Amino acid sequence: MIPRLPALHAATLSRVMASVAADLRFEALLGTGSMVTGGFDDESDLDLVLLVRPDAFAGAMAGRRTFAAGLGDLLACFSGEHVGEPRLLICLYGPPLLHVDFKFVAADDLAGFVERPLLLWAREPQAMQRRLDALEIKPVHRDGQWFEDRAWVWMHYSATKIRRGEYFEALAALDFFREAVLGPMLRRQAGERPRGLRRIETSAGAVERLLPTVATCDRSSLAAAWHASIALYVDLRAADPPPHPTAHMPGALLDFLDGPA
Amino acid (one-letter) located at 117? P
Has residue 139 been placed in a domain? no
Has residue 21 been placed in a domain? yes
Half-sphere exposure of 128 (CA within 13 A, CB side): 20
Q: Within this chain, do residues 12 and 112 fall inside the same structural domain, yes or no?
A: yes
Q: Within this chain, do residues 27 and 107 fall inside the same structural domain, yes or no?
A: yes
Q: Within this chain, do residues 192 and 229 fall inside the same structural domain, yes or no?
A: yes
Q: Within this chain, do residues 77 and 159 fall inside the same structural domain, yes or no?
A: no
- Residue 196's pLDDT band (boundaries 50, 70, 90)? confident
Residue 124 DSSP symbol: S
Q: Within this chain, do residues 149 and 123 fall inside the same structural domain, yes or no?
A: no
Counting the structural domains of the chain, the total is 2
What pLDDT does residue 261 have? 61
- Containing structural domain, residue 97: 7-133
Strand order across the 26-31 sheet? 74-80, 85-93, 98-106, 46-52, 26-31, 118-122
Has residue 138 been placed in a domain? no
Q: Within this chain, do residues 65 and 153 fall inside the same structural domain, yes or no?
A: no
What is the 3 state secondary structure string of 69-100?
HCCCCEEEEEEEHHHCEEEEEEEEECCCCEEE
Q: CATH number of the domain that 99 lies in?
A: 3.30.460.10
Q: Within this chain, do residues 97 and 27 fall inside the same structural domain, yes or no?
A: yes
Has residue 1 been placed in a domain? no
Selection from 180, 98, 97 nearest residue 140 by Cα:
180
Q: CATH number of the domain that 237 lies in?
A: 1.20.120.330
| Cα–Cα distance for residue pair 91/79, rounded to 1 Å | 9
- Residue 3's pLDDT band (boundaries 50, 70, 90)? confident
**Boundary residue ending a domain (110, 133, 156):** 133
What pLDDT does residue 149 have? 96
Has residue 36 been placed in a domain? yes
Q: Within this chain, do residues 104 and 178 fall inside the same structural domain, yes or no?
A: no
What confidence tens digit (pLDDT) does each residue in 37-76 have? 888 899 999 999 999 999 999 999 999 999 999 999 999 9
Q: Within this chain, do residues 111 and 213 fall inside the same structural domain, yes or no?
A: no
Its pTM stands at: 0.85
3-class secondary structure, 217: coil
What pLDDT does residue 153 have? 97
**Boundary residue ending a domain (133, 158, 184):** 133
Q: Within this chain, do residues 203 and 229 fall inside the same structural domain, yes or no?
A: yes
Amino acid (one-letter) located at 37? T
The answer on pLDDT for 186 being more than 80 is: yes
Has residue 230 been placed in a domain? yes
**Boundary residue ending a domain (111, 133, 155):** 133
The interaxial angle of helices 251-258 and 219-238, nearest 10 deg, is 180
Q: Within this chain, do residues 59 and 175 fall inside the same structural domain, yes or no?
A: no
102: enclosing H helix or E strand: strand 98-106
Q: Within this chain, do residues 98 and 68 fall inside the same structural domain, yes or no?
A: yes
Has residue 106 been placed in a domain? yes
The answer on pLDDT for 115 being more than 90 is: no
Least confident of 154-158, 202-206, 216-220: 202-206
